[in-house]
């Protein structure tokens, strides 16, 4: 009996066996390989297309009477019937003959295959006459034979797992059909001689080229050389020499399918057939007479070929690594399929398929009921048999076994009867054994949050090769794929990851889901870090700075050789106002900078804009992903059931910009609503709206869906998904279903919603799948964006009511009014977003953000290291981020929000962005006449303005900030101190000193226990005193301030005090003490994580290295400083950088010996080889250019504190 097709929903493959010369054993090999696959349970069809010298059926005469072959029509009769009749292809199924197969030496091994002969009575005179009647020109020109052959091919592939064609030798019309149009794989049989080898190579090259240009070709033609009649027993040396020669000559034929890390000679071991005298007589099937377990047997070679052609070609690494295990799984399929018994009808049908993910998903459904545990158990076993290394399945099975053992243990405790207890104890023991057997296979680290995108995958060979090369160690550490939304970035990664399950020891894949790099988006990376630390079993989850968090994660990833995938990074990047794709999140920035170095891990990024911080780094590859080629676009449409001539399909692909998502939507739309006819695409109406060119085509098809799905639950479901910017559980949607919202969920039963989910996922293919998470609904961000906008604009009341319902749902989820951790706060962050979309801004601010999240303290989230999460929550309260708060808020709240946003932006190092919200808040407080808040907000503006180089603006804000009536002493002291600082930066030293003394008098009068300035105020004063040479006073003040800072455990103030002491020792000439203090200072500043002050630490240590002659380390510290100040626009620090670089260039002219203070240096070094700066730095410019840059900055910023230093350097140029 013929086996069932292994996967009824999957297309089979067509494999042509071809030989350039006769007598090479082509038909012999084909018949044996086909029979072996049939014995393993594959549904196989053999077609004898060697019309001039047929003989394939002779190999099956022992299995079936020859009269059947003589009396049954074959290929020739089918072609003649078509040639002489109408344009309808005759019924090929009437020509099929079933061949029963029984193994002669292994009892119980039997199966069958189908065969279509070359023709009736072949090779009789009647048959020969019929062959001569075939007019190939008439068939192709008058009867569109190419298209009918394509239909025939599709019909065969729908019916069988594998179709084998036995082709004529040489070159003829029939050979062209078999080598170009019909096959997916071309098996090229040759013997070790020059004629056979050279002929095969030329035919293969022509076939591949012709196949690629053939209009009806869907995918690349794969070519597999098979060396036959190879005598390695008696002529070992000659055989090895010829194998090497064939290997070299035919190497290009392996390029399209062989894993690049597998040598050709390795795969050649499995694609050669030895010469064994016994099998050179007659037409006999060796695989029915030998067990194939001995590598000396010819059937061993046939088993290898059968396994490779059936499934190994897609998994060459697994096949070559463990050939026997691979074959064992194929051979066990039929046995396993028959052994597993279930009672559930759907489970029985699933057992016939080869879709491991579908089987596992249904097993997960069944296991929720105790009465279905046995069926669930059977399904899990099958899923693991099919995909033994699938991590999600292995983990799902482990969870099930634990659940089953818990149930059995509970059952055991309730039973007293001895025999029943023994039976249950046995089941528990067996379950525990199974659990232990799979635990070693489960990756220690695995987290995959990438969705599975529906539809076929086409093209992208260059990108797949790029990924393969990086994975297998070409030195690339980060790859970033850059493309517009819908180009296919996620699908590329999903396909590649699925292909390399066994090659990736550890994986963390994360999608940020949102779409577009817009300034009105603020996405937090906290959830990503929480998940990464969880799966990595991190010992540390609390950090002193964002940089420390990013560095720690990079360290863990490198330590565990873990592949990191960050999909859709653009919401975390700057894109507007002349920005260059800089990252908004400091932790992500540090993570990627740390990974862009020399190690053995790999990080893959997708985004719509390249990450600026990764530009021009040695271990980073930036690749622009373009739209599909026309050929691949046509293949995609065809895979979705779209019909039409290649020219028509190609025109449609071009019309829609070769855009992958658009073609996916178009193909499904045409297949579902327009009979799959490509010509009917013209019925799609033009798009209403002003969307950009990239999105316009996709939105045009979505607009058509809106029309076709009007008033259906499917359209309402798409509207519901548009309420979210992330995947959503069906449980959350049920909240909306039950609300019965007019124009959205009213009057729709829950069963109708479930049908809508099924149809959108399976029929329309608009929903993404998440493996083993069947209740999670997701779709492409562009789809969410379009249908969300349609709901908001068409049914605004439904939009608001839905968000209000979600607000109430999420705000009620946390157990505590004020959750303890960020993870516990996540529902409140969702509540803030939905509440603001519902127009409840003031209520949301008062009850959720201010009371429950911020604890009525604007700095609470920053204190726990969640400035990014704070901004992601705050953005919902703004109509225009950081500038225009929602008018639904009262003015006092608007001002508070603006100032809070300014503080958060500053904490994240986004100083330039902080100016506008601080300034707008100040304007609001001025309108409100709140003198105290005016003073506070004015002082908030001073430090960012100073750092960014607006000294004049900082001075103005400083004068506004001095408010003698302010009841809070600390605030008054800070305002006077920062005024003094602004004066100092402007070069007005005497005025600055006087105001510092005023600040110290305030300190003495209000805090007698601490009569001197400390913290930031002390650092500002001491910088002035250092310039005046008052080293002893600076050291005394710094030690005093350090003691207070250490008592309060404040890393910023500790670092600044240590920095002062190190600079004192440096000016005193005590290098060892200076180095120790400066190193400690830099460590403390890094721990504090304040981007305003960290450049001071790098600058001070760079000065130290310059003075002692260690120019390599000086440049390294200046490079680190430059990366911070240039990225964040810190123009005063940038001025200091140029001045110090100029001094360093002057010092390098003498080039003294390198110091041992820098890591890697030694006192024996004879000289300092000064490396160029990393690309992107400014170290390569001349001394004059640095001085000119510093001069320009001093003039434009008003940073006249540096006038004397500039004059000294300018004098060097004139001398």
* CATH code 3.40.50.1110 for 1018-1214: no
The predicted structure's pLDDT at residue 937? 82
* pLDDT tens per residue, range 964-982: 555 555 666 777 888 888 8
CA-based radius of gyration for the chain:
37
pLDDT tens sequence across 1013-1055:
988 889 999 999 999 999 999 999 999 999 999 998 888 899 9
User: What's the gap between Cα 470 and its chain centre?
Assistant: 14
Q: Is the pTM of this model over 0.85?
A: no
Closest CA to 723 of 636, 788, 795: 788
Check pLDDT > 70 for residue 517.
Answer: no
Question: What is the homologous superfamily of the domain 13-293+300-326 according to CATH?
Answer: P-loop containing nucleotide triphosphate hydrolases (3.40.50.300)
Contact 1205, 1146 (CB under 8 A): no
- Token pair of 786, please? 């379009």
Give the per-residue pLDDT at 332.
Answer: 65
| pLDDT at position 185 over 90 | yes
- Joined together, the tokens standing for residue 1209 give 């350097």
Q: Does 343 score more than 80 pLDDT?
A: no
| Lowest model confidence (mean pLDDT) among 52-56, 306-310, 680-684, 956-960 | 956-960
Tell me which H or E stretch contains 273.
strand 272-274
Q: How many residues does the chain have?
A: 1215
pLDDT at 769 over 80: no
Which sign, positive or negative, has the C-alpha torsion 21, 25, 29, 30? positive
Range 709-794 has CATH code 1.10.10: yes
Greatest C-alpha distance within the chain: 123
**Separate counts of helices (H) and strands (E) for the chain:** 51, 18
Confidence band, pLDDT 50/70/90 cuts, at residue 813: very high
- Distance between alpha carbon 780 and the CA centroid of its chain, in Å? 14
Q: 801 pLDDT exceeds 80?
A: yes
User: Under a CB-based contact definition with an 8 Å cutoff, are residues 334 and 40 in contact?
Assistant: yes
> What average pLDDT does this structure show over 64-78?
83
| pLDDT value of residue 751 | 87
**pLDDT computed for residue 135 by the predictor:** 84
Asked if the model's pLDDT at residue 693 lies above 70, the reply is no
118 and 109 in contact (C-beta within 8 Å)?
A: no
Tell me what pLDDT residue 445 has: 77
Q: Which of 578-582, 651-655, 917-921 has the lowest mean pLDDT?
A: 578-582
Sheet of strand 506-511: strand arrangement? 446-448, 506-511, 562-567, 603-607, 478-482, 620-624
Reported as a pLDDT band with limits 50, 70 and 90, residue 1169 is very low
Question: Is residue 3's pLDDT more than 80?
Answer: no
The predicted-structure confidence for 542-557, as pLDDT tens digits, reads as follows 787 788 889 999 999 9
Q: Can you tell me the distance from the alpha carbon of 496 to that of 421, in angstroms, rounded to the nearest whole number?
A: 49
Task: Quickly state the pLDDT bin for 7 (edges 50, 70, 90).
Answer: low
What is the predicted pLDDT for the residue at 443?
65
Pairing verdict, β 562-567 and 506-511: parallel
Which two three-digit tokens encode residue 732? 């959350």
Write down the pLDDT at residue 150.
Answer: 85
- Predicted local confidence at residue 147, as pLDDT: 80
- CA 991 to CA 354: how far, in whole Å? 82
pLDDT value for 1063: 96
Question: Do the Cβ atoms of 962 and 979 come closer than 8 Å?
Answer: yes
Averaged pLDDT for residues 762-774 = 71
Rounded to 5 degrees, φ, ψ at 294 are -95, 125
What is the Cα 466 distance to its own chain's centre? 14
1159 by Cβ neighbours in 10 Å (0-12 / 13-18 / 19+) ranks as: exposed
State the pLDDT at residue 1170.
38
- Average per-residue pLDDT in the chain? 83
* Identical fold between 13-293+300-326 and 1018-1214: no
351-366: average pLDDT: 77
Report phi then psi at 598, rounded to 5.
-85, 110
CATH topology of domain 446-624: Rossmann fold (3.40.50)
Share of the chain above pLDDT 90, in %: 32
Among the ranges given (435-439, 974-978, 1162-1166), the one the predictor scored with the smallest mean pLDDT: 1162-1166
As a whole number of Å, the end-to-end CA separation of the chain is 100
Query: In the prediction, which pLDDT does 171 show?
Result: 67
Q: Give per-residue pLDDT as tens, 610-651.
A: 998 888 788 899 999 999 999 999 989 988 888 988 888 999
Q: Sketch the domain layout of the chain as residue ranges.
A: 13-293+300-326, 340-369+383-418+429-442, 446-624, 630-644+653-683+696-708, 709-794, 1018-1214
| 3-state SS track over 865-918 | CCHHHHHHHHHHHEEECCCEECCCCCHHHHHHHHHHHHHHHHHCCCHHHHHHHH
Q: What is the pLDDT of residue 389?
A: 73
pLDDT for position 970: 60
737 pLDDT exceeds 70? yes
Q: Is the pLDDT of residue 865 over 80?
A: no
């Amino acid at each position: 009996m013929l086996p069932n097709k292994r996967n009824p929903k999957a297309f089979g493959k067509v494999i042509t066996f071809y030989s350039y010369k006769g007598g090479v054993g082509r038909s012999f090999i084909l018949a044996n390989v086909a029979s072996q696959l049939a014995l393993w349970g594959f549904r196989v069809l053999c077609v004898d297309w060697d019309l001039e010298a047929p003989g394939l059926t002779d190999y099956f005469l022992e299995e079936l009477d020859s009269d059947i072959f003589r009396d049954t029509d074959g290929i020739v009769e089918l072609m003649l019937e078509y040639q002489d009749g109408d344009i309808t292809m005759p019924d090929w199924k009437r020509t099929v003959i079933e061949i029963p197969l029984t193994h002669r030496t292994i009892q119980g091994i039997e199966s069958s295959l189908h065969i279509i002969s070359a023709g009736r009575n072949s090779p009789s005179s009647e048959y020969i006459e019929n062959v001569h009647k075939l007019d190939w020109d008439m068939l192709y020109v008058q009867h569109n034979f190419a298209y009918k052959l394509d239909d025939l091919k599709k019909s065969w592939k729908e019916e069988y797992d594998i179709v084998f064609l036995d082709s004529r030798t040489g070159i003829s019309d029939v050979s062209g059909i078999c080598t170009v149009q019909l096959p997916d794989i071309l098996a090229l049989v040759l013997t070790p001689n020059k004629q056979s080898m050279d002929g095969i190579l030329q035919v293969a090259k022509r076939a591949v080229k012709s196949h690629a240009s053939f209009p009806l070709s869907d995918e690349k033609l794969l070519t597999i050389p098979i060396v036959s009649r190879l005598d390695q027993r008696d002529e070992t040396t000659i055989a090895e020499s010829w194998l090497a020669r064939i290997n070299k000559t035919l190497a290009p034929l392996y390029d399209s399918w062989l894993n690049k890390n597998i040598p050709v000679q390795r795969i050649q071991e499995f694609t050669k057939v030895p010469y064994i005298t016994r099998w050179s007589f007659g037409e006999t099937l060796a695989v029915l007479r030998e067990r194939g377990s001995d590598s000396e047997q010819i059937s061993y070679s046939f088993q290898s070929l059968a396994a490779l052609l059936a499934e190994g070609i897609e998994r060459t690494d697994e096949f070559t690594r463990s050939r026997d295990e691979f074959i064992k799984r194929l051979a066990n399929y039929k046995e396993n399929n028959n052994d597993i018994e279930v009672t559930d009808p759907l489970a029985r049908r699933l057992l016939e398929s080869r879709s491991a993910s579908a089987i596992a998903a249904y097993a997960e459904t069944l296991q929720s009921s105790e009465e279905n545990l046995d069926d669930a158990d059977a399904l899990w076993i099958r899923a693991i048999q099919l995909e033994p290394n699938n991590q999600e399945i292995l983990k799902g099975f482990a969870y099930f076994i634990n659940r089953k053992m818990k149930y059995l243990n509970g059952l055991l405790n309730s039973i007293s009867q001895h025999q029943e207890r023994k039976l249950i104890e046995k089941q528990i023991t067996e379950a525990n054994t199974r659990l232990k057997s799979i635990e070693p296979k489960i990756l220690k680290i695995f987290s995959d949050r990438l969705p599975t995108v529906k539809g076929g995958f086409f093209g992208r060979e260059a990108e797949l090769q790029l990924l393969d090369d990086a994975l297998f160690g070409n030195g690339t550490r980060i790859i970033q794929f850059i493309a517009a939304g819908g180009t296919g970035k996620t699908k590329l990664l999903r396909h590649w990851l699925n292909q390399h399950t066994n090659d990736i020891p550890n994986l963390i894949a994360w999608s940020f889901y949102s779409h577009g790099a817009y300034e009105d988006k603020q996405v937090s990376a906290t959830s990503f870090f929480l998940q990464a630390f969880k799966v990595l079993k991190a010992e540390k989850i609390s950090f002193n700075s964002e940089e420390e968090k990013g560095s720690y994660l990079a360290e863990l990833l490198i330590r565990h050789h873990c592949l990191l995938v960050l999909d859709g990074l653009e919401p975390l990047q700057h894109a507007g106002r002349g920005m260059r794709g800089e990252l908004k999140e400091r932790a992500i920035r540090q993570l990627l900078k740390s990974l862009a170095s020399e190690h053995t891990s790999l990080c893959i990024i997708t985004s719509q804009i390249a990450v600026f911080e990764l530009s021009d780094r040695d271990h980073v590859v930036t690749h622009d992903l373009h739209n599909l080629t026309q050929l691949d676009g046509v293949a995609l449409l065809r895979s979705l059931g779209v019909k039409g001539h290649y020219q028509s399909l190609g025109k449609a692909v071009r019309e829609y910009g070769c855009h992958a998502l658009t073609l996916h939507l178009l193909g499904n739309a045409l297949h579902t609503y327009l009979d799959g006819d490509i010509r009917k695409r013209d019925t799609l109406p033009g798009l209403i709206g002003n969307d950009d060119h990239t999105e316009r085509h996709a939105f045009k098809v979505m607009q058509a869906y809106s029309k076709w799905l009007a008033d259906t639950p499917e359209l309402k479901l798409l509207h519901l998904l548009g309420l979210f910017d992330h995947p959503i559980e069906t449980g959350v949607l049920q909240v909306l279903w039950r609300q019965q919202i007019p124009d959205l969920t009213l009057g729709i039963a829950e069963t109708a919603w479930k049908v809508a989910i099924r149809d959108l996922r399976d029929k329309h293919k608009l929903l993404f799948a998440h493996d083993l998470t069947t209740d999670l609904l997701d779709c492409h961000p562009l789809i969410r964006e379009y249908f969300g906008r349609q709901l908001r604009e068409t049914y605004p009341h439904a939009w608001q009511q839905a968000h209000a319902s979600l607000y109430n749902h999420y705000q009620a989820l946390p157990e505590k009014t004020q959750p303890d951790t960020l993870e516990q706060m996540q529902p409140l962050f969702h509540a803030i977003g939905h509440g603001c979309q519902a127009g409840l801004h003031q209520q949301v601010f008062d009850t959720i953000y201010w009371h429950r999240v911020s604890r009525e303290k604007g700095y609470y989230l920053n204190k726990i290291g969640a400035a990014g999460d704070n901004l992601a929550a705050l953005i919902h309260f703004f109509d225009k981020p950081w500038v225009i708060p929602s008018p639904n808020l009262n003015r006092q709240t608007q001002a508070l929000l603006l100032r809070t946003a300014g503080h958060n932006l500053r904490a994240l190092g986004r100083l330039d962005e902080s100016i506008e919200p601080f300034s707008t808040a100040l304007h609001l407080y001025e309108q409100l006449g709140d003198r105290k808040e005016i003073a506070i907000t004015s002082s908030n503006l001073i430090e960012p303005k100073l750092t960014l180089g607006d000294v004049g603006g900082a001075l103005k804000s400083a004068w506004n900030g001095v408010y003698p009536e302010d009841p809070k002493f600390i605030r008054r002291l800070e305002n006077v101190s920062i005024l003094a600082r602004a004066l100092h930066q402007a070069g007005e030293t005497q005025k600055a000193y006087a105001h510092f003394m005023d600040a110290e008098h305030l300190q003495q009068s209000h805090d007698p226990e601490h009569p001197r300035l400390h913290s930031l105020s002390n650092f500002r004063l001491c910088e002035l005193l250092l310039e005046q040479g008052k080293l002893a006073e600076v050291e005394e003040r710094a030690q005093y301030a350090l003691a207070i800072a250490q008592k309060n455990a404040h890393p910023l103030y500790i670092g600044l005090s240590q920095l002062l002491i190190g600079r004192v020792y440096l000016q005193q000439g005590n290098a060892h003490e200076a180095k120790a203090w400066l190193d400690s200072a830099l460590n403390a500043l890094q721990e504090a994580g304040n981007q305003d002050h960290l450049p001071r630490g790098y600058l001070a240590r760079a000065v130290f290295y310059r003075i002692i002659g260690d120019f390599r380390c000086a440049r390294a510290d200046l490079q680190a400083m430059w990366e911070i100040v240039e990225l964040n626009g810190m123009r005063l620090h940038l001025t200091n950088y140029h001045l110090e670089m100029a001094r360093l260039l002057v010092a390098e002219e003498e080039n003294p010996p390198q110091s041992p203070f820098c890591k890697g240096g030694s006192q024996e070094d004879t000289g300092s080889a000064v490396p160029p700066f990393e690309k992107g730095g400014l170290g390569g410019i001349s001394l004059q250019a640095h001085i000119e840059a510093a001069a320009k900055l001093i003039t434009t910023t008003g940073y006249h504190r540096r006038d004397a230093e500039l004059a000294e350097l300018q004098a060097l140029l004139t001398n």
